[in-house]
Every structure is written in structure tokens, then in C-alpha cells.
Amino acid sequence: MTTEAAKRVPIPPRGVDYRGKLVLAPMVRSGELPSRLLALHYGADLVWGPETVDHSLIGATRRVNPDSGMIEWTRLPTNEQPRGPGKNGGAAAPELKETVVYRMDPVREAGRLVFQLGTSDPDRAVAAARVVAGDVAGIDVNAGCPKPFSISGGMGAALLRVPDKLCAILQALVANIVPEFQVGVSVKIRLLETPADTEALVRRLVATGITGLTVHCRTTPMRPRERAIRGQLRMIANVCREAGVACVMNGDVENRDQAAGLVEEYGVDGAMIATAAEKNPSCFRTAADGGLAPWREVAEKYVEYAIDVENKWGNTKYTLNQLVPGREPVYRALARTKCYTELCEAFGFSRLLDRARKLDTKVGLRPSTDTNKGTAKFQNGTALAAGGNMAGARSSGSEPRRALSERGVSAQKPAAIEV
């Protein structure tokens, strides 16, 4: 091995080396805290949080939730101002409620959480990173998301078209965040149109002082259903190795055993899983360690984490829709739940019921008040979760329930929004 090949960019004391790691990809909605904890539970070495835009972080307040112990960054809505007394000295209007911008577990994620930043400006990137850098193991710049919410602000994959700006952002973070917080800076990109274009970009990026580069093996126009392109991987890995930067591959990585083979085949340093982890994060286990766990085990552990960290109800429901196979009868019962209590009843998670009720009371979630359906709706769901066959039960004289396709609703689950 040559001296150049053995070169490594120093990993800061609080940073983490991506080499030899299998990690959870940054995914919008599917990458919130309970999903990350679930991935770690099943063996992920590192986890990326979902892209968080710089504007939303700047001015956010850091707090420790006294009930859950989680670190939360919160802020008031930016499109409204707090309201004062009512007209003619009447009662004051309700105060605006703070929203949680980002949430992390300071114990279970310690040293293993990489914060992905959405930005298009060096100064804003530094200001936003300063808000969270003291609590995370790394700052990763999103330069690969092709979705409109990212590229419309000049972020994500839009940065691939302006390499000067992308390099300036990385250099600013390396110059300011690394010495101040002692964590590394990395970037996640996509392939460009030609191998030559990709190589030229990667050479510029690895010269900025970053410790890691993740390449999603698709071009910007490609979608998850299109197979990943791996022909450029070895070239990218070699360029990274020459500069001493860790190279992580992303795209159609299904499980730990497959990842080990891909790392060996293409000479990369690590691998990242997205869609497969959204469906069943026990994919981080080897076959020897048990392989994929049954979906009910995974779902129950997820719900436990979601309750413990006070995850937003809508996100919990969305994520469960990815974890529960659509063919399962309880999948329909899930759609009718309105709170954590109903969710635990529908799935038969009786050991979580008391905690679910406490959280519902705290955050103001209420069970369904439909007196015609009542509790039987969720007792039905519980029976389904336990393997019953009450899905077709309905009161005498009621209309048969039409299929989703007949009601103009797609039964297909949405693909992960990977960033």
C-alpha cells in the first residue's frame, strides 16, 4: 500500500469515522427519532437524521424535555406573532405553541447521530450547524435530494450544479465547526451525467477538508424504482482514498450481509440503507444474528420508542404504514386510529396501554367519539392483530366496503423520500 493510499483525514475527537460502518440513510418522515432508535436497536452503526433546513434551525431554542429526557430544538411559527389581550380588554388569545424542529436522544444516539443540513449559503450553514453541533457526532451537507422542497431553495441536488457554492459551504463548515465543536463534516451527493463529471466534482469535494463522502448511486432525475448505477463506485472510492476521505455507498443496499459483499466488491469504506430500513430496520442484522425480524415485533418496538420520546402522532402513524405489510388485516385498522391508545388497542400492544394513555393526555390526543362504531372498532382491530378474521364483520344492512381502487385511493405505499 502506498503512502498516498494510506492517507486519512484526521477524525476530530468528538467525530466518527465512517469506515467499516453500515448506516441509516437520511429520510424525510422516515428518519425521525423513533425510527433511528429502532435502527440502532437492530444493529445500525450510525444513523442520519432527516434533512433539516438551516432557516428552521437558526433562532431555535434548545431544551431538555423533562418527561422524556430527549433534547429538543423548538421555535414559534414564523408566519405569525404571539397574540396579546383581546379587543376591549377581553381575555387574551391563546399563545402560539412552539413546534419541535428536531429531537434526539442524548444517551442512545450519543456518538452515533449525524445531523444532515439543508443549506445553500456558507454563512447560514455555519450559523445553523452551531445550534446542534455540540450534541451530534457529525454535520452532513445534503447535496443529493432531488425533491422540489429541497432544490427549490438551491439546496440538495441543486448544489451539484454549482460546485463553487457547495465547496464554499463545506470549507466554511470545516473552518468554523470542526475546530469549535470537534466534529467532522461530510457531504452526500448523487452521480452526475458522466463519470468524468462525477470524478471532477468528487476531487473538488474531498479537497475541502471533509472526513466523509456518501454517494447515492443514481443521477438526479432517477427515482427509487430505477436500479442503482454502481459502475462509477470504484473510481469514486479511489479518489476518496487518495485524499484520505471515507467513501460510503448508497442505493439498493438491502441488508448487512449484502452490504459487506458490496463494500468488498467496489472498494468503498461503508454502506447506507434507505428503503429496506424503512420497511424493516432489522435489515441491519446479519442472517447469523436472526436476519429480518417479524413485522409485529418491529412495529411494537417502534411504538414503544415513539411513546417514550413523545413522537408526533402523524409521523408515528405514517411510519407504521411503512412497517406493517399492506396485506395484513390490521393495516386497515391502523388507518382508523386517532391516538396512541387506540393504536395499542388495535394492535393488541397491551403492555404499552398505560404509557399510551399518559402521552395522549399530555399532548391532547383523543380517542374516536363515533358512537355508532365505538370501541368495537378497535377491539376488532385487536382481534385482527392477534390473527382473528373479523375484518368482514359489519352490521346488518350496511353497505359492503368498496376496495380502495374503487374509491379512487391507491393502496400502494409511498416510496421513501431519501435525502
Q: Mind telling me the catalytic residues?
A: 145
Instruction: Of 206, 208, 212, give the one whose Cα is nearest residue 270.
Output: 212
CA of residue 173 relative to chain centroid, distance = 22
Question: Angle at the Cα of 169 (from 117 to 157), degrees rounded to 5?
Answer: 60
Instruction: Of 134, 25, 13, give the one whose Cα is nearest residue 73.
Output: 134
Query: What would the grid cell of residue 212 be?
Result: 466523509
Distance, CA of 78 to CA of 97 (rounded, Å): 11
DSSP state of 375: T
SS3 62: strand
Count of CB atoms situated within 10 Å of the CB of 417: 21
Residues 66, 44 contacting (CB under 8 angstroms) = no
Distance, CA of 183 to CA of 14 (rounded, Å): 5
Count of CB atoms situated within 10 Å of the CB of 374: 12
Cα-Cα-Cα-Cα torsion 198, 201, 203, 205, nearest 10 degrees, comes to -130
**Which residue type does 203 have?**
R
SS3 196: helix
Phi and psi at residue 210, to the nearest 5°: -70, 160
Distance, CA of 53 to CA of 399 (rounded, Å): 47
Instruction: Of 59, 235, 250, give the one whose Cα is nearest residue 145.
Output: 250
Write the burial class of residue 371 (CB in 10 Å: 0-12 exposed, 13-18 middle, 19+ buried): exposed
Residues 418, 216 contacting (CB under 8 angstroms) = yes
Distance, CA of 100 to CA of 220 (rounded, Å): 30
Distance, CA of 137 to CA of 124 (rounded, Å): 20
